[in-house]
Structure 1
């Protein structure tokens, strides 16, 4: 394994193995397809069945219910994909299988029939589950013998994630809104196919990494555990605990799927049509599932030694903050996209329109030029041995350049500029690429705050972002279906929300790996992703409530509720500093 890792570092691009950049471009096209489709989904569901670009004419509530369930299932599926890769087929086959399923999913969505859309979403859920967790696992194995370079590797990989999200939203969103939904969905599928083929024909660059579950890696993990953690008794899962886990999974899946199905069918299909103790079936079901889960979680935590148990309590507290964060942050593809579409003045004329066209052209062409330069560096190192994979990758860039330049020329050819509603979602990736180096420097300096303070500051920034819409939407009357609020308010939202994300998202998983014994990593990552999955579903439920609150008290009042909640919980997180410090037992 050591010899293999050293071999990988013989062929370098920007000081890292060329294989890292194969993963970079594969992940970039996967994120392109995922975020490109995601940016269009709510807009497509809520678009009128009549007009130039007809959609399905759904209510906002029904669209948000389905979207929340879809994003929740995406996160839950990563646990299945990670388990299958770890124990059955290996990381590499999981990535290929996931990319193949996602390609089929996007192709199905391009057909736009009810059957094809639902089939496509199902394929995307399972495809993402197999793909997403195993790309980072391959990086971890590549850098096992070079831990000093791991932070830089993940930073480069993270840039690929954000570059893909940026171009996916920009181009799929533009085509979907301006030309036709099928083109937007179809473009996402085309680039997912490019990512699949590029990875498949270049995969030998990784040597034996990710081929199949290996005893060497498992033995190394055990040795690492012994070196890094004090001896602590193991707490195996007896049959009754596995039964509770299985029951919780069934309950969660039924609830997540039943929610949109019952609403979209107007109650004709409802698997939970009953009442117990005065509670409706859906409420009773999810409360029962959560009660069983928390009982099992705290029962197991109570079986460990004091230090391990208290560190796991700290992780659980962090997970609760992450839950709140994502429940609010994930308003972006739902409520905020609807706000952009229906309540924001997106028509620019004169100098304002010209400035936007210039800025939009620069933020599209300049990053694409930089990534193309990285592509050329990769070609120099790998073209001789992996010509087919490189040719496929070059074809994808020729197409992306063609679409980007066509978009720029097309926009300059019209006098009046109408900003697509999906365009605002690119600001998150743009601000991350711009601000990430600054936050990284802060975290490495003497001003680096404790973990819970980072969570608290992130939640407060999240609230400040929503406060921008409280002010911006204050004149929109209750029940209004349209308005013309300035775009600056949405720009401010995404700026503050990106800073909040940089305080929370990269920090959370890092502390899980620091605080949790190696043998329990999988279980606690499961708890972590479960929190994120439920948060995504709750984000959809909050969006549904936004529709009712907007009708009764005005949309500004909805944003005010979220602002106050985020800021209060943020200050609670900061106030817990002495408690968290004690629970972490020296981990910084």
Structure 2
């Protein structure tokens, strides 16, 4: 149909052998990730810094939970963001307005008052929900559903994500840790502004991709949906007011409530899709396969996204960061992961192209889980070396991130591609939101799990969850054939 997000723009393939429109989406995502990872690199460090050092003075347990919940909310909002694109304004305008709201959120965080960080985070959550799922859906719309170049295209797109993520901590980390936290947040705002400008200038080359809603709401249905959204917003505000009056509107109460909401949304969303009578038997079978991939992905992100919380604090407190008399910011180590992905992404893109359909998507997920677990096993050794207050070499963390990167490239870009291939037409953009919901569930639970890092001995913490991920990945291997059958011809 005319509004189908899979409508491909016309033109020669000129961007690394891929459609030119990929360059526009690549650069937009690069700047959005600059803003996101730049802020994220210093968030926990800011929350745990003392008030005397212009921080929030939070204990590490609460700060880790806040960080995990914030990440979860960013990804959770991808669901309504996908719905808005599918039913109301289309993917293209969703990306534009999402970028504007994200930039506004970062500018609010740059205001040097305590409350601005939480207000800014709320805006970033809303804006990312609009931008993140829909820009990935538009990348999928550049290719045929089963094109062998599809995984390679997503890997190149993934490289753009990590180019922004590499540069960001170097800028915001220096400004935030060495000069002023809010100045670091302000740099993230500038990055997102550049992303919006670049997108506006380049969006004409996108052709029809994402130009209109895939399944638009019209007339009375549209008015009814908007009314329900307004009522839900009012109910939420009343709930917040009631908690505040009762003295229960605390950081920990909000974190725990949002964690429960995230898990319940995932359960409810899958139940809704599985019982949708409009889906064909093939589409329903593919959704059953996707449920397995969803669980694997959530388990992966539970460990992986602790890089910005537990591992970031370890870098600040337990690593020797002195180089020729200069103590580099702990947040600079957050750039190790993306630079390794920049190097590794084209290699993995070539690997998947060479292997074709010989290695299935479920098998790649299993590899990612095993490698993720091994990274925490190595981290347990680093933590043991730091027992007693000794500072360890930052190369421990570099090695940990290298293993995690190999796992990420086995799972994340492959998962993005699988989502667009397995998605029922009716749920095109919403399915991309469902993929990010896996990260939301993993991050929400991971934020609660990360509380234990402040109470358990660190070697025990890392070894326990590392071995659990390895065992889960090995168990996933035994289900790959069953999942491939459920995928009904999608490799």
Q: Alpha carbons of 1:558 and 1:97: their partners in 2 closer, same or farther (altered >3 Å)?
A: same
**1:563 and 2:459 aligned:** no
1:161 pairs with 2:158: no
C-alpha distance in structure 1 between counterparts of 2:48 and 2:453, whole Å: 15
1:142 deviation in Å? 4.9
Partner of 1:455: 365
Contact 2:8 2:208 in 1 (8 A): no
Residue in structure 2 matched with residue 317 of structure 1 by the alignment = 292
Instruction: Look up the match of 1:472.
Output: 382
TM-score, normalised to structure 2, is 0.83
Distance 1:587 1:141 in 2: 17
Pick aligned residue for 2:41 from 36, 39, 60: 39
Match of 2:249 in 1: 269
Q: Which residue of structure 2 lines up, in the alignment, with residue 532 of structure 1? A: 439
**Structure 1 position 99, deviation (Å):** 1.6
Q: Which residue of 2 aligns with 1:510?
A: 417
Q: Say whether the 8 Å CA contact 2:82–2:432 is kept in structure 1.
A: no
Q: How far does residue 64 in structure 1 lie from its aligned partner after superposition?
A: 1.6
SS in 2 for 1:164: helix
Task: Return 176-185 or 433-442, whichever deviates more.
Answer: 433-442
Partner of 2:11: 9
Change (3 A) 1:293 1:450: same
Gaps of 5+ in 2: 218-224
CA distance in 2, matches of 1:270, 1:184: 26
Cα drift, residue 473 of structure 1: 1.4
Q: Distance in 2 between matches of 1:433 and 1:190?
A: 23
Name the larger-Rg structure. 1
2: CA distance, partners of 1:107 / 1:295 = 36
Deviation of the 1:194 alpha carbon: 1.8
> 1:126-173 CA distances to partner (integer Å, 9 max, x unpaired)?
111122222233344455699676555434332221111111122111
Alignment pair present for 1:544 and 2:454: no
DSSP 3-state at the match of 2:448: helix
Tell me what 2:25 maps to: 23
Secondary structure, counterpart of 1:57 in structure 2 = coil
CA deviation map 1:544-564 (0-9, x unaligned): 121111xxxx21110011111
Secondary structure, aligned partner of 2:76: helix
Deviations 1:254-280 (A, max 9, x none): 9x999xx99xx997436999xxxxxxx
The range that moved more, 507-516 or 206-215, is 206-215
| Counterpart Cα distance in 2 of 1:292 and 1:130 | 22
CA deviations over 1:396-450 (Å, ceiling 9, x no partner): xxxxxxxxxxxxxxxxxxxx13232111111111111112233233323359433
| Alpha-carbon spacing, 1:285–1:257, altered in 2? closer, same or farther (3 Å) | farther
Q: CA deviation at 1:208?
A: 5.4
Give the match's secondary structure for 2:455.
helix
Checking the alignment, whether the CA contact within 8 Å between 1:69 and 1:257 is kept in structure 2 is: no
Structure-2 residue corresponding to 1:423: 332
Q: How does 1:328-477 map to 2 (within 5 A)?
A: 328-349=303-324, 416-446=325-355, 448-477=358-387
Tell me, in whole angstroms, the C-alpha distance in 2 between the residues paired with 1:21 and 1:89: 23
> Equivalents in 1 of 2:205, 2:113: separation in Å?
40
- Structure 1: runs of 5+ lacking an equivalent: 219-241, 274-280, 350-415
Give the conservation status (yes or no) of the 8 Å contact 1:348–1:417. yes
Distance (whole Å) between structure 2 residues aligned to residue 8 and residue 146 of structure 1 = 19
1:445-465 C-alpha deviation (Å, 9 max, x unpaired): 359433332222211111111
CA distance in 2, matches of 1:108, 1:520: 34
Contact 1:324 1:535 in 2 (8 A): yes
Q: In structure 2, how many angstroms separate the alpha carbons of the residues matched to 1:13 and 1:286?
A: 41
> Which residue of 396, 401, 417 corresponds with 1:489?
396
Q: Using a 3 Å threshold, how does the CA distance of structure 1 residues 84 and 33 change in structure 2: closer, same or farther?
A: same
Q: Which has the higher contact order (CA 8 A, sep 6+)?
A: 2
Q: Is the 8 A contact 1:9 1:16 kept in 2?
A: no
Q: What secondary structure does 1:193 align onto? A: helix
Q: Deviations over 1:15-59 (max 9, x none)?
A: 5555432332222211111110110101111112225xx322211
| 3-state SS of 2:50 partner | coil
1:500 — aligned with what?
A: 407
Look up the SS of the partner of 2:136 in the other structure.
Answer: helix
Asked if 2 retains the 8 angstrom alpha-carbon contact of 1:476 and 1:556, the reply is no
SS in 2 for 1:192: helix
- CA distance change for structure 1 residues 524 and 19 in 2, over 3 Å: closer, same or farther? closer
The whole-number CA distance in structure 1 between the counterparts of 2:264 and 2:26 is: 38
- CA gap 1:456/1:302 in 2 versus in 1, 3 angstroms: farther
* Counterparts of 2:118 and 2:207, CA distance in 1: 38
Number of residue pairs matched? 469
Is the contact made by 1:99 and 1:192 (CA closer than 8 Å) also made in structure 2?
A: yes
SS at match of 1:40: helix
1:511–1:494 CA distance, 2 compared to 1 (3 A): same
Report the CA distance shift for 1:290/1:98 in structure 2 as closer, same or farther (over 3 A): closer
Q: Distance in 1 between matches of 2:36 and 2:165?
A: 8
Q: TM-score, normalised by structure 1?
A: 0.70
Bigger shift: 29-38 or 10-19?
10-19
Contact 2:77 2:128 in 1 (8 A): yes
Q: Check 1:19–1:556 CA distance in 2 against 1; reply closer, same or farther (3 A cut).
A: same
